Structure 1
């Protein structure tokens, strides 16, 4: 079995899974997400051209090729440990990274996963800036950003991590009150956005379907949209990320207004270890939430 294409990060995950027999246990031991552990095992198997585990409902068991790899992987582990002992500072990440992002991504996606980052890097501080209307990467207001609008200028590096999907949602109480039947946007109550937010794709979609009809209410924040919809005020266009956990019912998941989620990094900070750590953390968080984000 050739090992020239093996990456140490993948081998480290392989050893953790082989020792624990479980993705969950390996993820906990390495302070990684389960999706990241699974992805790295698949990447290693692809690089080697061999399945390394038999997947059972009771856990992961090594194949013959996997068992053969263990000794070589442990040799790599010993070398990595000796290098770490010789260069302890190389493993330490400290300082502050300023992250600009939307309020909904911060509260529903990033902050719930933050303890994992803190556990792995206790000396790293993440400053989360959610007032993205005033945050400007070009002015160095932030080091890195996770946003739904793709920048078209500036000395930045871009990577699309996923999609923020939207749907037309209603509360069970609203549906019970209106009675059975398909959505009728000529009659159903709809929660709209105030004029100050008319640039938003959700606001524009609502304006098109209302065709001049008065809405059930107007808000200036997603939190207020979710609250109004949850209270049964009317239908609302909401991200799946926010609506699904609150028990709201999706009536239409194909509105044509889904948005890309972009990782934006100052180009001259790409080599910064702390920025790279935060960037990888964000990649993992978005990957793990893909089903919820895209529905």
Structure 2
């Protein structure tokens, strides 16, 4: 058994398909299938059972998974140790997941700052309105709007951020004044699709005294563009406001919500120096960027 075969095994276990593993490893799915067959033949045990949902680990596959992940961790630590050697430059590829508001409006500026100091580092931003799986290595680390309460994870608070009720200046001129929360009942509201809210911290309506939204999306960017198009008013991240001309806060003295970003890593990555250093740089830059954008709002 060699490490390359274990890499293929891990990719199939995490993506639950030959095609998914092939995309991840950038090799042909047929080659992935042959490599898995060779590994099973060498071990004398079936590692996967094919089902309508894809490739599921067998009992033997599950037992091998723990050892393969330990080997992956050892290889990562070894490479990290060799590449360090006193070099302060971060290198290679790091993939970070984040809710789409953070991914669209905060992380690009953060990565631009980091790239100036670490030009050989490639940061991949995966924007998804959902939670990520670190055990399946979908990402190396991710930003969350609430701290996970289970799993073998490293969690640290990055920074607080704020949200406000907002609308386009021209929309607000053409519609009835909003001087109290009661006035919101005479306006259309933009918000999340209720059954697609993946984190309780994203459920803002009750806090602003509303029961439901009239126009909805699971995406912060789409909601922002709905408000920009004049469909109504809605809760907007303060760090988004500088990106939209002539969008202004509504009831600024009454409605201002506070949330926080958290950085989440797999506990096994605690000793990976490169990820630890990146996490430190990322958190510091995110704090500075969020603070700067909120000052501009």
Q: TM-score range by the shorter chain?
A: 0.5 to 0.7
For residue 275 of structure 2, give the secondary structure of its aligned residue in structure 1. Answer: helix
TM-score by length of 2: 0.60
Q: Which runs of 5+ in 1 are unaligned?
A: 1-86
Report the equivalent of 1:149: 146
CA distance in 1, matches of 2:216, 2:263: 31
1:194 aligns with 2:193: yes
Q: Deviations over 1:97-146 (max 9, x none)?
A: 22111121122111123233223222222122222626212333222212
| Residue in 2 that maps onto 1:178 | 175
- Counterpart of 2:92? 95
- Does structure 2 retain, via aligned residues, the 8 Å contact 1:95–1:124? yes
Q: Over aligned residues, Cα RMSD in angstroms?
A: 2.9
Deviation at 1:244, TM superposition (A): 4.0
Q: Is the 8 A contact 1:106 1:128 kept in 2?
A: yes
Is the CA contact (8 Å cut-off) linking 1:163 and 1:293 kept in structure 2? no
SS in 2 for 1:119: helix
The answer to whether the 8 Å contact 2:164/2:256 transfers is no
User: In the alignment, which residue of structure 2 is the partner of 1:115?
Assistant: 112
Gaps of 5+ in 2: 1-82
Task: Calculate the TM-score normalised by the size of structure 1.
Answer: 0.61
CA distance in 2 between counterparts of 1:131 and 1:181 reads 33
Give the 3-state SS of the residue equivalent to 2:224 in structure 1: helix
For residues 160-239 of structure 1, the aligned pairs below 5 Å read: 160-180=157-177, 182-183=179-180, 184-198=183-197, 201-203=201-203, 205=205, 209-211=209-211, 215-239=213-237
Q: 1:124 touches 1:274 (CA, 8 Å); kept in 2? A: no
Distance in 1 between the 2:214 and 2:264 partners? 37
Number of aligned positions between the proteins: 207
For structure 1, which segment, 159-168 or 201-210, has the greater mean C-alpha deviation from structure 2 after superposition? Answer: 201-210
Separation in 2 of the partners of 1:159 and 1:207? 26
Residue 267 of structure 2 is matched in structure 1 by 267
> Where does residue 60 of structure 1 map in the other structure?
none
